[in-house]
Amino acid sequence: MAWTAIGLAADVPLGEMRRFQWEDEFILVYHLEDGWYATSERCTHQDCSLWDEGELEEPEIVCQCHGGAFDIRTGRATRMPCVFPLDVYHVRVNGDLLEIED
Ligand code: FES
């Protein structure tokens, strides 16, 4: 396992999320009171972008396309019509950098 830098931690203020490119996809990184979290960026219901259509309502990301939601700490679908989980990633701050574990 290795850690890959994806951006600057300072670009994600407390209580907010940002989208970053990682490998050949986008992921969302969340900066919460209790730490940093990262999930895939596409809703598992009908593939809406959670960056464009998602609303951060801690501890959930709510997809405005059809009202589904996910727990950002686990990726678990928490509201219908979402059933399948988001992918989740290990994220850490190393100096100024945000890093994702490969
Ligand atoms: S695409 Fe997200 S709830 Fe339908």
Atom of ligand 1 nearest to the CA of 47: 1
Measure the CA–CA gap between 36 and 33, rounded to whole angstroms.
Answer: 8
Q: Which domains does the chain have, with CATH numbers?
A: 3-101 (2.102.10.10)
- 35-60: per-residue pLDDT in tens? 999 999 999 999 999 999 999 999 99
CA of 43 to the centre of ligand 1 (A): 6
Mutate to test the pocket of ligand 1, among 52, 62, 82, 86 (most ligand atoms within 8 A of CB): 82
φ/ψ of 52, rounded to 5, equals -80, -40
CA of 95 to the centre of ligand 1 (A): 36
- 68-85: per-residue pLDDT in tens? 999 999 999 999 999 999
Burial (CB < 10 A; 0-12, 13-18, 19+), residue 56, is: middle
pTM, two decimal places: 0.94
Beta carbons within 10 angstroms of residue 80's beta carbon: 11
